Amino acid sequence: MPTESAPQKYEISPELVQSLTDNLKKLGTPGYNQELVVQFLAEKYLSDVGYALNLLTYREPLPIYDILRTMGGLLSADRTNKGQYFLGALDVSGIQDFVYNISSDRALRSLRGRSLFLELLSQVVLRDLLKVAGCSEDCLLVQNGGYYLFLLPCDKIEELRKNLERVINLWNRRLLLLQEGRIFLAFAMSASPVTVQEFLNKPGDGYSDAISSIGRELALRKRQKFVGMLEPGDLNSFPAILTCPICRRDVNKLVRLVEGEEFCDLCCFCIELGRQSVERGALEIDLQQQGKNYCWKAGSFTLRLGEEKGEWEEPGALRVKLNPREVEDLAGSNFYLNFPVAAGIEDDFNDLAKLSTGWKGLGALRADVDSLGNLIKGSAKYAPVISLASLSRLLNRFFSEYLMQLQQGTLTTNSDTVVNPKIRNFHFIYGGGDDLFVVGAWSDTLEVALDLGRCWRTYTAQNPDATISMGLSLHPSKFPVLAMAQISGEQLERAKSNKVDGRAKNSLSAAFARRPLFWEEVFDGEKPPLQELVQPLHHLLPSGGQDEENARLSRSFLRRMLQADAATHPLIENGGRWKPGLRFAHAPQGKVDYLYLLATSSELKSPETGSPSQHLRDYLRWLHFSSEPPDLSFFLNWLDLLVRQA
Ligand SMILES: [Zn+2]
């Protein structure tokens, strides 16, 4: 997202003033969409200037950008001059099935574009809805992970409801024909109006009633997907002549992508979106009406979106710039979107697996913000409508801008990364507002998980109510993407269910570790951070897997550590006690404990000084007096995989 500094600090430096002055002069330059430039500049310069209260940190003011934008929305939708509004919501269901449920052969090329397609679809549908309601785009309050909430005017409400439902039904009919019902758009309106006083001051019953009536209505719509939408003759219109090798849809025509590769029109369109996003960082889509057909064109590919019954018109082109950083990036665009794109990464799961250090395999990582509902409730304490818009924008910013910087190794804040920043070989399969699914070289995926948790803690100023959970699983390169999503999803659930005193914590669950890892134990707390143990061990590893023979950390040493770990924990779980200074008594015959291994290993001694590093000595000192054994299964297994031969 185009912001100039981290949300916690805002300094009006001479450079910032100069940059703003220079950019304002660009207003009026031919070739730019002026409204878009104004919106971009407002977001770039006013996102971090605050007024009142910022919810993610509880300490900082509400950004002026969110205040201005929301006020613009309130003015645009107040057509009765009574300061009353309805709320509308759009929920895209079937996202996972659409994005991941595809054959893994050549999947990655299509995967890149699939979540982009869904985002574009949602944006086009939202534009249609807001146009029918006569509202500006500022009315859009929330857009996170396929959920959109927006302001609607209060006049002629029954007529408006009918018109909006007509738009949604038309799109659902198109999606039914296009996707055999995999994607469904659920639309709901609040049962009663909300007043501007409730939106801007303390929320009352009207606000909470509106939010809960929307939740009930959406749930009902999702249970009745496509009810009444089939028309006579539909069954005849699905002739199962050919099957798309990527999405397995039955179609009557396949499109040739290159020599020997033919896919359905939707898969070709998604592949083209993926290609444009990586090569140009921008998308160009023509929205066209051809006779009775409404279609989208990207490059040389055409996607037909159902047969029209007349009256529908949406001519023109959608020129979307992805992740603009400067005004110049907006030349020729009429829309911009913050969406994580991994450029310059191998397009084949096999090649990606080979880029891992040590064991050659894939890592699948899923991450999700915990109890978003509580965060939203927290946001309702004051100026709920602005807070909600601000929270949504901040989450989107984290899951696009920060992630891309972590992937590219260019994150400038929080320079003390767990391991050295570098380009990390993974793809964003899905990243939508408050959750994430990435697949890549397993060692890079694990590193990014650790850094993601650390960045999140900084981003939220360690607000105990804003926590993130992550699940990591490892797979061979031929593993189906859908199964990766399910297995890493199970780990995500394990991380989420691992609460401390009923509260969620920032945590990462990996399939190979005994229990989820909490960020507190990695980075702070009463114990010396585990990072102090991991850093010296990590530095003993061969770099980039190029030099395995010269690795100073041997597998046999790690094996002995793993044995000590495996021998210690069942003893503790069966009522045995870990006694400081008496650990030899607990080690089964022939096996020794951590302390002995760490203290005596020649491998951990610096070749220059002949003694263990300061980090390691600090850790050993803590271990010697500790009243509980460390759980090193996460780090030992991590290191063990890193030193494996290809
Ligand atoms: Zn297909």
pLDDT in tens, 198-221: 888 776 788 888 988 999 999 999
**pLDDT bracket for residue 566 (50, 70, 90):** confident
Interior/surface letters 43-66, b for 16+ CB within 10 angstroms, e for the rest: bbbbbbebeebbbbbeebebbbbb
**pLDDT bracket for residue 495 (50, 70, 90):** very high
Distance 268 CA to ligand 1 centre (A): 7
Distance 172 CA to ligand 1 centre (A): 19
Q: Kindly write down the DSSP assignment for every residue of 563-610, as one continuous string.
A: HHHHHHHHHHHTT----TT-GGGGSPTT---HHHHHHH-GGGB-TTTS
- The CA-CA-CA angle for residues 216, 222, 225, to 5°, reads 140
Distance 244 CA to ligand 1 centre (A): 5
Residue 362, helix vs strand vs coil: strand
pLDDT at residue 5, rounded to an integer: 38
Q: Which of 57-61, 517-521, 607-611 has the weakest average pLDDT?
A: 57-61
Higher model confidence: residue 645 or residue 185? 185
Distance 77 CA to ligand 1 centre (A): 40
Higher model confidence: residue 356 or residue 100? 356
Cα(123)–Cα(117) distance, rounded to whole angstroms? 10
Q: Which residues have a Cβ under 8 Å from the Cβ of 150 and sit 6 or more positions away?
A: 73, 87, 88, 89, 90, 126, 129, 130, 135, 139, 140, 141, 142
Q: Specify the length of the chain in residues.
A: 646
Cα(53)–Cα(43) distance, rounded to whole angstroms? 18
Distance 103 CA to ligand 1 centre (A): 10
Q: Which of 126-130, 371-375, 495-499, 510-514 has the weakest average pLDDT?
A: 371-375
Distance 633 CA to ligand 1 centre (A): 42
Name the residue ranges covered by the structural domains of the chain.
236-337, 339-525, 526-646
The pLDDT > 90 percentage for the chain reads 25
Whether pLDDT at 16 is above 90: no
Distance 329 CA to ligand 1 centre (A): 32
Contact 382, 52 (CB under 8 A): yes
pLDDT at residue 236, rounded to an integer: 58
Higher model confidence: residue 173 or residue 572? 173
pLDDT at residue 8, rounded to an integer: 45
Q: Which of 124-128, 133-137, 488-492, 578-582 has the weakest average pLDDT?
A: 578-582
**pLDDT bracket for residue 591 (50, 70, 90):** very low
Q: Which amino acid is at 568?
A: T
Cα(553)–Cα(574) distance, rounded to whole angstroms? 32
Range ranked top by mean pLDDT from 211-215, 621-625, 638-642: 211-215
- Average pLDDT over every residue of 8-36: 81
Distance 361 CA to ligand 1 centre (A): 27
Distance 245 CA to ligand 1 centre (A): 7
Distance 270 CA to ligand 1 centre (A): 9
pLDDT at residue 463, rounded to an integer: 79
Q: In angstroms, how far is CA 570 from the centroid of its own chain? A: 37
Q: Which of 51-60, 206-215, 397-406, 473-482 has the weakest average pLDDT?
A: 51-60
pLDDT at residue 476, rounded to an integer: 94
Distance 143 CA to ligand 1 centre (A): 27
The pLDDT > 70 percentage for the chain reads 74
Distance 249 CA to ligand 1 centre (A): 6
pLDDT at residue 50, rounded to an integer: 63
Q: Kindly write down the DSSP assignment for every residue of 384-447, as one continuous string.
A: HHHHHHHHHHHHHHIIIIIHHHHHHT---SS---SS------EEEEEE-SSEEEEEEEHHHHHH
- Measure Cα distances from 312 to 133, 288, 529 in Å: 16, 11, 61
Q: Which of 181-185, 269-273, 514-518 has the weakest average pLDDT?
A: 514-518
Distance 251 CA to ligand 1 centre (A): 9
Distance 266 CA to ligand 1 centre (A): 6
**pLDDT bracket for residue 237 (50, 70, 90):** low
Distance 198 CA to ligand 1 centre (A): 47
Beta strands in 29-139 (DSSP E): 50-51, 62-63, 84-93
Contact 439, 481 (CB under 8 A): yes
Interval 539-563: pLDDT, tens? 555 444 444 444 456 777 778 778 7
Whether pLDDT at 414 is above 60: no
Distance 303 CA to ligand 1 centre (A): 11
DSSP, res 61:
P
Distance 100 CA to ligand 1 centre (A): 12
Distance 236 CA to ligand 1 centre (A): 20
Higher model confidence: residue 181 or residue 359? 359
- Average pLDDT over every residue of 147-160: 93
Tokens describing residue 311 = 């009256």
Whether pLDDT at 318 is above 80: yes
**pLDDT bracket for residue 91 (50, 70, 90):** very high
- Average pLDDT over every residue of 450-454: 83
- Average pLDDT over every residue of 563-586: 59
Q: Assign domain 339-525 to a CATH class.
A: alpha beta
Higher model confidence: residue 627 or residue 588? 627
Distance 297 CA to ligand 1 centre (A): 16
The whole-chain average pLDDT of the chain stands at 79
Distance 228 CA to ligand 1 centre (A): 26
3-state helix/strand/coil string of 452-465: HHHHHHHHCCCCCC
Distance 105 CA to ligand 1 centre (A): 12
Distance 482 CA to ligand 1 centre (A): 16
Cα atoms in the 13 Å half-sphere on the side-chain side of 577:
5
- The interface predicted TM-score (ipTM) is 0.99
- Average pLDDT over every residue of 19-39: 88
Distance 253 CA to ligand 1 centre (A): 11
Distance 396 CA to ligand 1 centre (A): 29
Cα(468)–Cα(371) distance, rounded to whole angstroms? 9
Distance 257 CA to ligand 1 centre (A): 12
Whether pLDDT at 2 is above 50: no
Distance 282 CA to ligand 1 centre (A): 23
pLDDT at residue 379, rounded to an integer: 63
Tokens describing residue 95 = 């996202």
Whether pLDDT at 485 is above 60: yes
